[in-house]
Structure 1
Amino acid sequence: MPLTNSWLAGDSPTRRLPREVLEERILNLLSTHNTAVIATVNDDGSPNATPVRYFNLGFEIVYTSWNGSVKSRNLRRDVRVAAGIVAPLVGQASSRGAQIFGTARTVERDDPDADEYWEAVRWQSDHVERGRSLDQPPRDPLTVIKAHRIVYTEHWLRREGFAPRQTWTETSQG
C-alpha cells in the first residue's frame, strides 16, 4: 500500500518550536476559526461542555453568554475553564487544534473595559439575522477567558522536525 505522508511514520520528533513561532501558529488557529467547546465544572463536580461561537483578542477568548446559563453559573462558582478549538479533520496530516486552560470572568455591558471586548464581537450579523436594529448594540454580558496554558497540536509540524504537540504558557514555553 502506498504511504501518503511518509513523514507521519515512525516516532514523533520532540523538538520545541521557538516561542514566537508557536504564538503565531496559535493566533492563526484562533483567528481562522470561531467555534470552541467550553468546559466548566457543575455543582456536583461533573463536567459541562458547551459549544460557543467565540472571538479572540490575542490569547483571550470572548463569547456572549446570558448570566442564567449553566456555563455562566458554573463560572461564577469556579472560574477555572477549558476550551477546545479544532480545525476540520481530514486525516492525521490535518490534525490541528488547541486546548486552552485558563480562568474566565464576566464582563457586563456597563463595565469600564466592556467596549474594548465588544469591538471584537461581530454582533451585527446576529442582529440582521434576527431583524434587530443595528442602532441598538447588545446589552448581553460577555465571558472572557484568559489563557494560562495552551496545548497546541499540529501534526504538520512533524514535516519540519518539530513535535506535533507544543505547550504555551503565559510566561514560558514548556
Structure 2
Amino acid sequence: MPVTNPWLAGPSPEKRLDRERLSERILNLLSCQNMCVLATTGPGGPLATPVRYYHLDFTVMFTAAPRSPKMRNIAADPRVSVGIFAPLVGQASSRGAQVFGRARVLSPGEASHEEHWEAFRWQSDHVERSLSLDEPPGGPLVVVAAERIVYTEHWLRRDGYAPRQFWRADRVGDDAGT
C-alpha cells in the first residue's frame, strides 16, 4: 500500500535544531495563530481557558475581566502553561507549543504595560463590538514571558530532526538546549 509520508514511520529521530532555527519556528507558530488554551490552577483544581492572544517575541499577551476565574487563579499562583497549536489534518501537520511561564498582570500606567500594549491589537475586538477606536480598553493586560517552550512539529522528522524540541529563555548562548 502506498504511504503518503513514509518518513513518519519508525522511531523518531533525536537530532536537535539549533536555537536560531527553533526560535524562528516557534515565532512563526505564534504569529500564525491567535487562540491559545491558558492553564491555571486554583482552589477547585486546574482550569483550561481558551483565550485570544497576541505576542511580542516570546511573550504571550491577553486581556481578561479582573474578576474572572482565570484572573483569580493567576493572583493565587502565577505559574501558567499556554497551549498554542495549528489545525491538525494529519500526523504530518501536527504543530504546537506548550509555553511555560509566570503570568504578570499589568495595569494601565505601568511602564511595562505601555511597552506591551503597543503590540496588542485591541482595535479588531472594538470593531467587532461596535466600540469606538478612540477609546482603548482600560483593563489589565496579562503577559506571560516564556521561561521554557516545548515545541512539537512532526514535519521536522522529514529532515531528520526530533519532532519534539525544547527552548529555554535562560539558554541564549546554547544550541536549542534540552
Q: If the length of structure 2 is used for normalisation, what is the TM-score? A: 0.94
CA distance in 1, matches of 2:136, 2:6: 52
Alignment-mate amino acid for residue 4 of structure 1: T
CA distance in 2, matches of 1:166, 1:113: 30
Aligned to 1:126: 125
CA distance in 1, matches of 2:130, 2:101: 35
Deviations 1:14-48 (A, max 9, x none): 0010011100100000011110000000114x110
Aligned to 2:58: 59
Cα deviation, residue 117, structure 1: 1.3
- Secondary structure of the 2:111 match is coil
Residues 1-174 of structure 1 mapped to structure 2, 5 A cutoff? 1-44=1-44, 46-172=45-171, 173-174=177-178
- Secondary structure of the 1:113 match is helix
Cα deviation, residue 131, structure 1: 1.7
Q: Which moved more, 1:14-23 or 1:110-119?
A: 110-119
Alignment-mate amino acid for residue 18 of structure 2: P
CA distance in 1, matches of 2:4, 2:133: 50
Count of aligned residue pairs for this structure pair: 173
- Secondary structure of the 1:133 match is coil
In structure 2, the gaps of 5 or more residues are 172-176
Deviations 1:90-145 (A, max 9, x none): 00000000001110010111212212211111111211221211111110111000
* Amino-acid identity (%): 59
RMSD between aligned residues: 0.9
Q: Which moved more, 1:115-124 or 1:26-35?
A: 115-124
CA distance in 2, matches of 1:148, 1:12: 26
Aligned to 2:174: none
- Secondary structure of the 1:3 match is coil
